[in-house]
Structure formats: structure tokens, C-alpha cells
Amino acid sequence: MQLSDTLALVGGLSVLWNLLRLLWRCWRGFRQYILSQFWQVDLRGYGQWAVVTGATSGIGKAYAMELARRGLDIVLVSRSEDKLQTAEIYGRKTCTIRVDFTDGHIIYPKIANVLKDLEVGILGMSVSDTLKVLYYTKLILDIPCGHCLSVFRGHGLIINISSETGVRPHPLVSLYSATKLFVTYFSQCLHAEYKSKGIIVQCVTPLLVSTSMTRHTPVNCFTKSAQGFANEALNTVGYSAYTSGCLSHALQVNLIISRYLRT
């Protein structure tokens, strides 16, 4: 075999390998964002109650409403008592817990006392409007992993809302980017540790969603409404433990943003 034939063979195999990788990524995206819209996981299989933190506004509120629409009873966790009272309108059984996660470990007994008699299957850790609360993700996750999402039942779901800013470095919002990276890595580590015990830890990394945090940016092909995003993101449960949440954001990350940052 001549050198030119060898190079042609290597080149052909390289093209085939990259083509197969592209097809696999396309299939995974199609399955995660298209097929999931038609074949959704019954979230009630994880448990009848869902705990949602930051449940009185933005993505957290949208998740709570969507979970209620899908037949789950909701535990609303927030630091605002007034907003908790007005949010108790989902048409399902609701329970409210007023806590401020920046208070540290003293919130444990209050949360545990409310959740101890509930069949909690899902925990949604919503994005916060502030940076400092991200440190306290560990506080709430200690509770489901050790108590309400019991490993002895062999099933449970934790959803952490990270951000695209945690996917790659974002200058000028360096602290926010770094803390979101923590949420992403922490979620992936927890998923690896607990998936064998039946507990799924899903990390969601959205781009722009129209909420008070983004000053209610107008909804368009790049920016999702909070309710629309929650609907699509919950459809990906059971399909992926790491997701952009919706097709629009996945395309932006893979086709637009990544190319821009490489230039």
C-alpha cells in the first residue's frame, strides 16, 4: 500500500468518525428536545410531592405551576411570606415554608419538620436573583439526599437550575459565572454518586429567560418565557441529566455562542 493510499484511508476513517459523532449528537438533541415533547415521563412516578425553592417568581414559580399542572402537589419554599400566600393558587395541595437560605443550618429543623410526613419525589432548586445564595445549594440538597428523597425508596429527582454562564467563562460577570459553574459541577457529581440508588440529579443551563432578573426581556426566538421554558425543560427529565432546557437555547449554545468565543 502506497503512502497516498494510507493517507486516503486515514482521512476516510477520520471523516467517518466525525460524521458518526455528528449524527450521534443530532440524534441525542432530537431525542431530548423533540421526542420528549411527545413522550413525557410521568413525574408522579417519583413521588406525589415536589419541593420548589424560589417558588414565588421567575423560573421557580414557572416550575411550580408546571409541576402542579402535571398532577403533583407542591411545597413552596421562599423567603417572602406575602408572595408565598399569593402563590398558593395552583389547584393542587400546597404547603408553604418561609425560610431564608442565607440563615445557614438553623433552617434545617423547620424544613425537615414540614417534609417528614410527605412523599417527596422531586426537588427543584431554582435560580436566585442574587449571587450569594448559590453557596447554600448544599444546604437544601443535604435534606433530600438524606431524608425526603430517601435512597431506600430507590427513586427521586433533583433539578438544579444553573446557567449558560456556567458552561464557559463570562468576563464582566465573573462571580456569577463561577458560582453557576459550581452548581453545574456539583449537580453532575451528585448525579454520578446517586444514580445507582435511583436518584436523578438534573442540571439545567438556560440562556435568556424573560423574568425580573433579566428585566423581563421581550420573548422572541432567542428568549423564552418562564412558563414556556419550564414546560420544555421538564419534558427533558428522563432523557438527559444535563440540558439547556429547550431547543432554542441548545442551538444557541452549540451553533452560535461557541463559534463566537473561538474567534
Which amino acids are annotated catalytic? Answer: 176
User: The dihedral of CA 140, 144, 145, 147: what is its sign?
Assistant: positive
Residue type, 67: L
Cβ atoms of residues 141 and 158 within 8 Å: yes
Cβ atoms of residues 68 and 92 within 8 Å: yes
Helix (H, G, I), strand (E, B) or coil at 105: helix
Residue type, 25: R
Nearest CA-CA partner of 123 in 197, 72, 58, 168: 72
- Cα 16 to its chain centre, rounded Å, is 34
User: For the chain, how many helices (H) and strands (E)?
Assistant: 9, 9
Q: Give the C-alpha separation, 76 to 84, whole Å.
A: 7
Cα angle value 104/109/111 (rounded, 5°): 85
* Stated length of the chain: 263
Cell numbers linked to 240: 438527559
Cα angle value 49/132/83 (rounded, 5°): 45
Q: Give the C-alpha separation, 181 to 13, whole Å.
A: 36
